[in-house]
């Protein structure tokens, strides 16, 4: 039973999702807010501005917490105005580190 429980938690923690957030999401504390929100949920990953004006984030952790974080992104930081959030395919190889952090614009 112990091994099954370990496998269950590993499977739950292995979900990775990349999202693109569009709208007024740059210059409105969106990335810092995302870092705070993701860390509060214990998620790993990163967030960065895109040159096209969107914000991109990669979330890794239990599926239900990722879904909760994506819902939070739809609401956005207090000063943002989110038009859309798209969930894209991703893998653990995209993480590139531990914890949740802010990356430079790409």
- What pLDDT, in 10s, does the model give residues 34-89? 999 999 999 999 999 999 999 999 999 999 999 999 999 999 999 999 999 999 98
Can you tell me the distance from the alpha carbon of 34 to that of 29, in angstroms, rounded to the nearest whole number?
A: 9
Catalytic-labelled residue, pool 10, 18, 24, 31: 31
Question: pTM for the full model?
Answer: 0.86
Q: Residue 73 and residue 24: Cα distance in Å, rounded?
A: 12
Alpha-carbon distance of 67 to 64, in angstroms, equals 5
Q: Where are the domains of the chain?
A: 2-93
Task: Single out the catalytic residue among 10, 49, 50, 74.
Answer: 49
Q: Between 14 and 103, whose confidence is greater?
A: 103
Whether 87 is catalytic: no
The topology (CATH level 3) of 2-93 is Alpha-Beta Plaits (3.30.70)
Q: Is 49 a catalytic residue?
A: yes
């Amino acid at each position: 039973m112990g091994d099954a429980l370990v496998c269950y938690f590993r499977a739950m923690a292995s979900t990775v999702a990349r999202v693109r957030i569009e709208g007024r999401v740059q210059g409105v504390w969106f990335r810092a807010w995302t870092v705070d929100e993701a860390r509060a949920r214990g998620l790993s990953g990163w967030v960065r501005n895109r040159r096209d004006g969107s914000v991109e984030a990669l979330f890794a952790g239990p599926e239900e917490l990722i879904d909760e974080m994506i819902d939070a992104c739809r609401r956005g930081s207090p000063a943002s105005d989110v038009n859309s959030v798209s969930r894209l395919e991703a893998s653990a190889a995209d993480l590139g580190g531990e914890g949740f952090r802010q990356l430079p614009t790409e």
